[in-house]
Amino acid sequence: MEKVRFAVLGGSGLYDLPGLYQVQPVDINTPFGHTSDQIMVGRLGNDLVAFLPRHGKGHLINPTKLPVHANIWALKSIGVEQIISISAVGSLREDYAPRHIVIPDQLFDHTKRRDSTFFVEPGLVAHIGFAEPFCPKLAALCADHAEKAGATVHRKGTYICMEGPAFSTKGESNVYRKWGMDIIGMTAIPEAKLAREAEICYTTVACVTDYDVWHESEEGVTVDMIIANLNANINTVKTMITTLIPELGTLHDDCPCRHGLAGAIITAPEKIPAILRRKYSLLIEKYIKDE
């Protein structure tokens, strides 16, 4: 199959990618099982793009149970170098209003039950650098095109990723605000960490759907509210992606994201079991050659 360099992950309410044509469904076997759904590979203009609904079409998988390892691995295996994650989030500040778009620059992991590395077995350990969890170059490009599409865009913010699937209590929501968090969601972890281990540029286009539950003059967050506000942003997101994709090739290979494992593997090469060298060859081959 021709290399697919660009991918879009669809969140709540976004289960297909409008404008994608010559679409072919792709099933990929991964060491971590099946992906959330079939990967739909098609064209936007002259560019091949992969689309994957992270919760499955019809929203079948809750955030904790998402097969993120399989999703990122499968995208890496078809050549993906850049991932744009479309996500519904709640706002933890007054000026980040529903139907605005936030391109976060920081991430706070408040999950409790998720493996956040590919290297889960003893015998191979890697410590990636994660000070900048989102690709700055890809984030800036997304912000530019979201503004061109007519959105009110906030170019920075800290995304706190909670476990879910229940929404926050008021007590939790107010604590997150005191911590300095700006938006809240359930899916950026472990996606962002695994994308870094896979050396894929990754950013989140966060569609604000509600004020979580802290805002006394607004109604509490509901699924209906989330979907209604996310749907209002779909045309903006569609336009953004259509104009953005042709420019993704201008991002250079020297982006630090493309070298996320360089210097990260701490296990002595001679101590890595052969079975793990084979299993993780997609990720580590250029750093640790098979004997």
Segments making up each domain of the chain, as ranges = 6-261
The answer to whether the CB of 44 falls within 8 A of the CB of 12 is no
Q: Give the dihedral of Cα atoms 14, 173, 83, 30; nearest 10 deg.
A: -90
Query: Mean pLDDT over all residues of the chain?
Result: 92
Stated pTM of the model: 0.94
Give the catalytic positions in this structure.
Answer: 210, 212
- In this predicted structure, what is the pLDDT of residue 268? 94
For the record, the structure tokens of 40 come out as 């739909």
Q: Give the dihedral of Cα atoms 100, 163, 218, 92; nearest 10 deg.
A: -50
User: For the chain, what is the radius of gyration of the CA atoms?
Assistant: 19
- In this predicted structure, what is the pLDDT of residue 11? 82
Q: Smallest Cα–Cα separation from 81: which of 2, 1, 4, 193?
A: 4
- What's at 190, amino acid-wise? P
Tens of pLDDT, residue by residue over 109-137, are 999 999 999 999 999 999 999 999 999 99
**What's the CATH class of domain 6-261?**
alpha beta
Tens of pLDDT, residue by residue over 176-230, are 999 999 999 999 999 999 999 999 999 999 999 899 989 876 666 677 777 777 7
- What's at 1, amino acid-wise? M
What are residue 151's phi and psi, to 5 degrees? -80, 155
Which residue do the tokens 């076997």 mark? 29
C-alpha span between 226 and 99 (Å, rounded): 10
* Three-state secondary structure call for residue 47: strand
